[in-house]
Amino acid sequence: MPFLGQDWRSPGWRWVKTEDGWKRCEPFSPALEDGNNQLNDISHTVIITGDDENEEVYSTEDCEFAAKKRKKDHFRNNTDSQCFYREKWIYVHKESTRERHGYCTLGEAFNRLDFSSAIQDIRRFNYVVKLLQLIAKSQLTSLSGAAQKNYFNILDKIVQKVMEDQYNPRLIKDLLQDLSSTLCILIRGVGKSVLVGNINIWICRLETILLWQQQLKNLQMNKQVNNGLTLSDLPLHMLNNILYRFSDGWDIITLGQVTPTLYMLSEDRQLWKKLCQYHFAEKQFCRHLIPSEKGHIDWKLMYFALQKYYPIKEQYGDTLHFCRHCSILFWK
């Protein structure tokens, strides 16, 4: 069996059967494929330029070099070129081997994995946003230039999705706040070559982030008109059961602002006690006991106080998975 990839552990190329035989399927957009076909046609022709006295014949090798350069320029100029990967898994090699040189970087994983489709899945949306927030806090400078460009393109799609669906705008506001703070610090140290690209590009990106923040600040929730059963019509025990399903204290407070009944249920001491016991160990909240005026423990204040000192548990519907046996990072 012939090797189809650079490594015997590599999946190789994808091939499509046509009338003329088998052809390799490039993972590019249709617009790029048309451009590649035109470039390939040019590379197989002999171009003759100049006058009759000084005829200059370019060989096929020169044409192929020019075609490759045009492809590279086309990738750089195309804003969607960094999103042409649609792979659901990648092989993570941590060090160089005899079969394969180099290792898998964070930027390569971010470029190759299909994050554009992941943000459209409600089960993966919060996970992708949290991943972008972690990158914005500490790993933004480790990304390559293409990965940074891809990062902002995916962020643009996330903001547009939130503007259209009004889904979890608070999470995106926190992401943009962390990203703007990081960029302000990095732009000041641009003389140390901590950023990839021109300083004017990053100033433009920072202005775009400020524009996104302003749009999210002025976001108006669409009021749904429904003559059927509403949340307020549910019995108290069902409303209380819904509140006990939340794992974020801010979600409980936001829901408590809807009606006076939900506010009364959201102030339940037992609810906040269960939330503290879920996120934190007993030794942790025993160090930060906050008694109320009546002498009881104020579990609501304890939750937000402990949140400053210790990380809380995070829940996601679907995440990236890693197989330790074959070193594969993949979407399930």
On whether the pTM is more than 0.85, the answer is no
Q: Is residue 330 situated within a structural domain?
A: no
**Token duo for residue 299:** 């579990």
pLDDT of residue 146: 85
Taking the CA atoms of 1, 108, 106 and 330 in sequence, report the sign of the dihedral they define. Answer: negative
- 238 shares a domain with 192: no
From first CA to last CA, the distance across the chain in angstroms is 29
- 94 shares a domain with 176: yes
- Inform me whether the pLDDT recorded for 325 exceeds 90: no
- 279 shares a domain with 245: yes
CA pair distance 126, 70, nearest whole angstrom: 38
- CATH code for the domain in which residue 257 is found: 1.20.1280
Q: Is residue 161 situated within a structural domain?
A: yes
Q: Is residue 2 situated within a structural domain?
A: no
Q: Is residue 280 situated within a structural domain?
A: yes
Q: How do residues 260-303 score in pLDDT, each as one tens digit?
A: 899 999 999 899 989 988 888 888 877 777 676 666 788 888 88
- 242 shares a domain with 178: no
Please tell me the total count of domains within the chain: 2
Q: Which residues of 185-198 are buried (b: 16+ CB within 10 A; e: fewer)?
A: ebeeeeeeeebbee
**Token duo for residue 178:** 């962390």
Cα 195 to its chain centre, rounded Å, is: 20
Residues ≥6 apart with Cβ < 8 Å to 189: none
Q: Is residue 259 situated within a structural domain?
A: yes
- C-alpha torsion 25→31→32→36, nearest 10: 80
- 212 shares a domain with 96: yes
Q: How do residues 68-122 score in pLDDT, each as one tens digit?
A: 555 555 445 444 444 445 677 787 776 666 666 656 778 888 888 888 888 888 8
Range of the domain at 281: 233-309
